[in-house]
Structure 1
Amino acid sequence: MSKLRTANLLGALAGEIADRIEREGKLHPNETSSATAALNVIGFYEGCSNGALSRALGLSHTATVRLVDKLELSGLVRSERGADKRAVALRLTRHGRERARAVIHDRCLRLGDLIEVLTPRQRRQLDDIAEALLKSMVKAAQDADHICRLCDGAACPTRQCPVHQKAVALETA
């Protein structure tokens, strides 16, 4: 099998999976994956700042502020005074926490349905391949927050996460 064919198959698979997750995971047509990721990241890092959220989402500061404003209006997030007068600390409301858990759980269930066609051996092989590819994508410790912005922390705890383990190794090196 040629390297280009493998790359092409991976690209087609990644694109279709991303499209299905995006399409099937929305409660309404205007909902974005950035909103879901924001809820998940804020849940991971209760009290994080807009700046930290912006870096994890890969959004500009302005886009992040607009997103947080929308999440606050929806009753999912609340902003509190941060460590200094210019910073805010972002926290999930009870409704925001429930929404984040539900969306991430549903995402895992949809992906679980997709891999049902694989044998247990093939799933172990896919785990190994996914771990190797994900580790290779971590070039700096802060990459982990972006890569894992839509991850289910219960399904892949930090101590088992290849992305976070690589980030820790980079920080200690």
Structure 2
Amino acid sequence: MHERLANLLGAASLAVTDLVLAGATDAGQVSASGAAALIVLSDAPDLGVTELGRRVGLTQSAAARMVDGLQAAGLVERHRGAGRVVHVRLTGKGAEAVRGMLAARDAPLAGVLTVLDEAEREALTGLLAKLLTRLYDAIGDSEVMCRLCDRRCCTAGAVCPVGQAERDAGGV
């Protein structure tokens, strides 16, 4: 029975990933890492290129190339910081793209959840929080785990389980 559960979880995880990435990349007309970078910057403006790359799983050189593309598309702008640090922030067009990407990401997920009644949704919320806490133990980086999250909806009237796991681990 546990093998079947693990298999079902794996299939559901991949299907959800496909829906989220397709929605975000189509709406933003960017790559998956570009979509993640824009969403990360909407919550954490003025990150350095290296830190932005780390949060979306890219090397510094790959992050610099990604930022080049996002800047050429008018979605981000660079600002010089102290020393050699270059900060990146969204432009108005980039902020608009983020709103569209989050809406496009949310729509298919909301559709999937329509098969659950309110009690099932509440139960799933608790189970997902528990699984995310465990996943944090394995991954150890809330910024990486939550790179495509709409953080405002996750923390509105609740505590983000990933952020809490990080605090409990002494990470923040």
> TM-score, length-normalised on structure 2?
0.90
**Structure 2 residue runs without a partner (length 5+):** none
- Separation in structure 2 between the aligned mates of residue 34 and residue 138 of structure 1, nearest angstrom: 20
| Alignment match, 1:171 | 170
What secondary structure does 2:121 align onto?
Answer: helix
- Residue 83 of structure 1: how far off its partner (Å): 2.5
Whichever residue aligns with residue 86 of structure 2, its letter is V
CA-to-aligned-CA distance 1:34-59 (integer Å, 9 cap, x gap): 11110011111111111211111111
The structure with the largest helix share of the pair is 2
**Aligned mate of 2:114, from 116, 126, 129:** 116
- Residue 30 of structure 1: how far off its partner (Å): 7.0
The correspondence of residues 13-32 of structure 1 with structure 2, limited to 5 A, is 13-27=12-26, 31-32=30-31
CA-to-aligned-CA distance 1:15-45 (integer Å, 9 cap, x gap): 1122233334433897322111100111111
Whichever residue aligns with residue 165 of structure 2, its letter is K
- Separation in structure 2 between the aligned mates of residue 133 and residue 163 of structure 1, nearest angstrom: 10
**Structure 1 residue runs without a partner (length 5+):** none
Report sequence identity in percent.
Answer: 33
The correspondence of residues 82-101 of structure 1 with structure 2, limited to 5 A, is 82-84=81-83, 86-101=84-99
- Separation in structure 2 between the aligned mates of residue 13 and residue 103 of structure 1, nearest angstrom: 21
Runs of 4+ in 1 over 2 A off after TM superposition: 20-31, 139-142
The correspondence of residues 148-163 of structure 1 with structure 2, limited to 5 A, is 148-157=146-155, 160-163=159-162
- Separation in structure 2 between the aligned mates of residue 83 and residue 167 of structure 1, nearest angstrom: 29
Residues 106-115 or 4-13, more deviating: 106-115
The alignment's C-alpha RMSD in Å is 2.3
The correspondence of residues 100-139 of structure 1 with structure 2, limited to 5 A, is 100-139=98-137
| Alignment match, 2:43 | 44
- Separation in structure 2 between the aligned mates of residue 30 and residue 78 of structure 1, nearest angstrom: 17
1:140/1:89 Cα in 2 relative to 1: closer, same or farther (>3 Å)? Answer: farther
Does the CA-based 8 Å contact 2:75-2:93 persist in structure 1?
yes
CA-to-aligned-CA distance 1:81-118 (integer Å, 9 cap, x gap): 0222x110111001101111220122112211110110
Q: Tell me if 1:66 matches 2:72.
A: no
1:73/1:127 Cα in 2 relative to 1: closer, same or farther (>3 Å)? Answer: same
1:80/1:13 Cα in 2 relative to 1: closer, same or farther (>3 Å)? Answer: same
- Separation in structure 2 between the aligned mates of residue 71 and residue 148 of structure 1, nearest angstrom: 20
| Number of residue pairs the alignment of both structures matches | 171
- Separation in structure 2 between the aligned mates of residue 140 and residue 116 of structure 1, nearest angstrom: 30
- Separation in structure 2 between the aligned mates of residue 156 and residue 30 of structure 1, nearest angstrom: 25
Whichever residue aligns with residue 31 of structure 1, its letter is V
Residues 137-146 or 65-74, more deviating: 137-146
